[in-house]
A = this chain, B = another copy of it.
Amino acid sequence: MLHAIQDAYARIKSDLYPTPLIRSYHLEPYFGCAVYLKLENLQRTGAFKMRGALNKFSVLSDDAIKGGMVAASSGNHGRAIAYVCKSKGVPCTIVMPQTAPPIKVANILALGADVVQCPTENRFKVAAQVAEERGAIVVPPFDDNDVMIGQGTIGLELMEQAPELTHILVPVGGGGLVGGIAAAVKGLSDHTKVYGVEPEILPRYTESLKAGKPVAVPQNHSIADALASQQPGDVNFPVVQNYVDGMLTVSETAIQKAHKLMITEGKIFCEASSSIGLGAVLEEKITFTATDRVCLVISGGNLSLDQLSSLIDIEI
């Protein structure tokens, strides 16, 4: 899979923003070792999802996309698809959970896409209906090989920016991001462990890895709104099973504390979902030795200031 990711990178690199990997000295007391942040909140459209969207479009002909695109998305995938559709001049409809933050809806509408909102658990069914009605193609947010391969380009950049990394902690929703990154990193490094981190109230990968196959968990709403999937993608699951070193779960309380800490101490404006790796460290779901070099993937930064109000009184 490494070669497919390298080929994808050659196709999409010029349309990506090169995102920095910065050392976060302020967060190091919590880890007891060197900490790095991969700032995908600085990616075009404010999240890593641009990578998968660009790669999907790079393998489709102009004829295939002329009827437009439909995506079911908690927000960031939708914004990326809407951006590419606008740049290609094709119609776009994004199907979003009714619980999506208003800023994510607004960002997508601003790109000229239609937005349909529905209950979280119906979003893939609604997307398929809309696609059929409009003669459009559905671009899945994670359960698609081209999308996962696009997200994997982050792994290539990390191994270029800091080949000495010992651990990479990746937020997990459907598994496109962690699967892609792990496949790239494991193809390039024999000393870098890749961990997925998911909300404790949505433990679809933890449960599925135990069961040895994708299983669904109840649709709970996590404050890590970008990690809403009820079950692993069929395409992603075997890749995660094969390449990922471990899966950690984090309580809602720890995600919230980590979110506050990432902003006020890390000085990085990012989504709750992006702080989940830090949450795992706060809860001691993983510990490090002084010579480790840990990277947190900061997956997105599409949030509004009013979303921080609930963090003001959180004690760290």
Contacts and interface: CB of A to CB of B under 8 A. Distances in A.
Interface string A263-279: 11011111000000000
Given A269-B263, A304-B264, A25 B44 contact: yes
A287 B39 CA distance: 28
A20 interface: yes
A60 interface: no
Interface string A39-55: 10110101000000000
A259 to B, nearest CB: 10
Interface in A151-206: none
A179 B39 CA distance: 32
A260 B22 contact: no
B46 A263 contact: no
A17 to B, nearest CB: 5
Contact of A268 (B25, B269, B306): B269
A182 B305 CA distance: 35
A299 B24 CA distance: 17
Interface string A209-244: 000000000000000000000000000000000000
B301 A267 contact: yes
Contacts of A89: none
Q: How many copies of this chain sit in the oligomeric assembly?
A: 2
A135 interface: no
Given A18-B23, A22-B20, A306 B312 contact: yes
A311 interface: yes
Nearest to A269: B267
A14 interface: no
Contact of A305 (B39, B41, B263): B263
Contact of A39 (B41, B267, B303): B267
A308 interface: yes
A88 interface: no
A237 B48 CA distance: 46
Nearest to A18: B23
A162 to B, nearest CB: 13
Contacts of A22: 20, 22, 39, 42
Interface of A: 17-18, 20, 22-26, 39, 41-42, 44, 46, 260, 263-264, 266-270, 301, 303-306, 308-309, 311-312
29 contacts: A17-B25, A18-B23, A20-B22, A20-B23, A22-B39, A24-B42, A25-B42, A25-B44, A26-B42, A26-B46, A39-B267, A260-B305, A263-B269, A263-B305, A264-B269, A264-B303, A264-B305, A267-B268, A267-B269, A267-B270, A268-B268, A268-B269, A269-B269, A305-B308, A305-B309, A305-B311, A305-B312, A306-B312, A309-B309
Given A26-B46, A39-B267, A46-B267, 19 more contacts: A17-B23, A17-B25, A18-B23, A20-B20, A20-B22, A20-B23, A22-B42, A24-B42, A25-B42, A25-B44, A26-B42, A41-B267, A263-B305, A266-B269, A267-B270, A268-B269, A304-B312, A305-B311, A306-B312
